[in-house]
Structure 1
């Protein structure tokens, strides 16, 4: 495997081979990458906003529980498949992309089978929603997985085109649904609206994979690099998602709806954090010394923290009338969580930049921080809910994010620089995972 920061400075293959499509110019590629990240994040934001406006508070709670389950599966696939395929270089990259898409299709079909008993055993609208998710899971996961293939091929404009179509189709499909629509119906419409983008993405990928064969065995071997990334996701992002999901199963789905509604309003910050994670390592790798990297990320972290606090202040001052236009009946419950969620995102900005620093200077140092403090965040979330309900859960997440940021920056202050190259066991620098969110 190749160090992503170094790989960003090394010209890669022209598409699928000598006769493949040419790479876009660097400036256009950067704009397309940022645009694709924005389109993908905006899709997730608008899906939740439209679902909240169309649903009752109980209906959006059921939809939110299913969307949390989907987010966990999406993140797991990103970690196990997406983060490994983007490390591929050389003439075999077309075969690697075919293998990644084939494995995603088979794995998502298996996950859909596991969702069927969940849907059958869950009563009411929640059960119907899980059955709908099982029906469309392969479509949405394969469509999202194409983004990582185009990233590895250095063809971000193709991913951008497919994700723009995805955004347009899902907004159009949900916008025409009647108010009070069953959450299962909304899940089904959301999933089926991925079909045009999936077809376009596969068509755009075809020139790079023609004549190649899929190899699935590497994904099942012990020591596959995705296993390390999956552990980081599980303890970093997946644990908090599953904890919120647990609130809906064992406590009340309304708490899930409130938490999901509040974090939806901070979607623009997720775009900002994810963009820093995507483009930060190559840029920081060119700065040279450790001091320059730390100075740059510390300044960026302060900027992110101020941006998060400012965005929280804007949302807190939003009139109730406009808030209900955004989230419908869920606005009242979500608005009560804005101080806590705003604090969480402010400290997440600091923590994101600390973990980004560790990724560049000492890639192996992130796992222990993620394991300890992500699990602590889950404990604080559950304790907060037990003591003060949904607001307590939100403040628990904020406290966990603050402690993780402090721990990460402490680790940055103490670390010694590691060699830039990848380790012999293939566990060298990896793409940075998206910022943790609920």
Structure 2
């Protein structure tokens, strides 16, 4: 079996892989916006948001539990094969009948959703292989597969004719995952040959992926589902404008993911809670400043360059930049606040996520009712600001308690639990 990469090399490959994956999502939306008109991009954005929710659920239910897998090499290899097999089977079982029903229904949005359903197994299974490689401590293989994905998807979309419809763009996007999936499966087979698999283990009641899925649903999926509902019930163009504006903030999402992924170990080195909170607050302030600076750059961008990025969608997305920029500044502070709570007292994050995610949905819908798409963007900003304020208020209360000056707890609580099996059991981070 080939040797594992050195720790420093593995870290660099993990960071690079996150950057490539995030860059691919940004590039997909930019190229799709340039190859389609504003109505087709609105439909594409709506359906792509549906995929984002399904992807988040898959990562929560399968991927996050998989990366906590412990045991011998054969047990870990079996868990990886089981995760990939389960994703492929579940996505096919969901996608095939959905594609048929939506195709029979007809209509622009239904046909685009049918196209997504057809390619869903390819996209979701390729994503699961990334977590399998992470579990196997071979992030360089995930990087190879994701670079293959990026190299295939951009030409696939760029070669579509101008004015291409959303179903055609979605099929091109989905089928372009085939080369990356083939590479990933070949590499995975090299390291898991003979390990066997048990996809049914993900249907057991004690699989903690259910808890991950609940946390995703209350923490991240709420506002995305509200945007989907806004497009289906009210105006699909609203989804296109909102997605176009958030696409321009793709670099900020990369920074947020990096803070979430690498922040806890760095905060743990602070030694005590107050110092960790100050470090997290400083990081949040820096990220908020970066968001404000990036917003300024976008506002000063000439229309010609903006249209080169987003095509016809630029005009509607540009109107939302002040609101979206303010939202990302609030998200920077909120992300670091929740990160601090996860280090100080992890159980306190779920109630905040639940309450204020629902509040964000209400702000989004209320803002749209009062001010259309622009009102919806400002509603999202208000919701993010409220969540950030609540998280830092909770941090302040924890620091004011008698235990506020104690040293930080361990950031690896699952190591205190009994070793779980290859059935995909684990615990939430």
Shared topology, TM-score over 0.5?
yes
Give the deviation of 1:117 after TM superposition.
Answer: 6.0
Give the deviation of 1:54 after TM superposition.
Answer: 0.7
Residue 10 of structure 1: aligned partner: none
Distance in 1 (alpha carbons) for counterparts of 2:260 and 2:35: 33
Q: Deviations over 1:130-188 (max 9, x none)?
A: 11111100000000111111111111111111101101110111111110112101000
Give the deviation of 1:256 after TM superposition.
Answer: 0.5
Residue 164 of structure 2: aligned partner: 181
Distance in 2 (alpha carbons) for counterparts of 1:412 and 1:332: 40
Equivalent of 1:68, from 49, 57, 66?
Answer: 49
Say yes or no: does 1:309 pair with 2:292: yes
**Superposition pairs for residues 116-155 of structure 1, below 5 Å?**
116=99, 119-120=102-103, 123-155=106-138
Task: Call closer, same or farther: CA 1:90–1:186 in 2, change over 3 Å.
Answer: same
Distance in 2 (alpha carbons) for counterparts of 1:359 and 1:21: 36
Residue 375 of structure 1: aligned partner: 358
Runs of at least 5 residues in structure 1 that lack an aligned partner in the other structure: 1-19, 432-438
Runs of 4+ aligned structure 1 residues displaced above 6 Å come to 425-429
Q: Secondary structure at the match of 1:82?
A: helix
Q: Secondary structure at the match of 2:161?
A: coil
Say yes or no: does 1:51 pair with 2:32: yes
More divergent stretch after superposition (178-187 vs 410-419): 410-419
Whether contact under 8 Å (1:132, 1:184) holds in the other structure is yes
More divergent stretch after superposition (54-63 vs 278-287): 278-287
Say yes or no: does 1:389 pair with 2:372: yes
Residue 32 of structure 1: aligned partner: 13
Q: More helix per residue: 1 or 2? A: 2
**Superposition pairs for residues 250-329 of structure 1, below 5 Å?**
250-329=233-312
Give the deviation of 1:118 after TM superposition.
Answer: 6.0
Equivalent of 1:87, from 56, 63, 68?
Answer: 68
Distance in 2 (alpha carbons) for counterparts of 1:193 and 1:345: 31
Q: Secondary structure at the match of 2:312?
A: helix
Distance in 1 (alpha carbons) for counterparts of 2:347 and 2:202: 22
Whether contact under 8 Å (1:363, 1:430) holds in the other structure is no
Residue 366 of structure 1: aligned partner: 349
More divergent stretch after superposition (284-293 vs 298-307): 284-293
Give the deviation of 1:398 after TM superposition.
Answer: 0.5
Aligned length: 412
Whether contact under 8 Å (2:208, 2:428) holds in the other structure is no
Provide the alpha-carbon RMSD of the alignment: 1.9
Give the deviation of 1:115 after TM superposition.
Answer: 3.0
Distance in 1 (alpha carbons) for counterparts of 2:409 and 2:426: 10
Q: Secondary structure at the match of 2:4?
A: coil
Runs of at least 5 residues in structure 2 that lack an aligned partner in the other structure: none
Residue 206 of structure 2: aligned partner: 223
Give the deviation of 1:282 after TM superposition.
Answer: 2.7
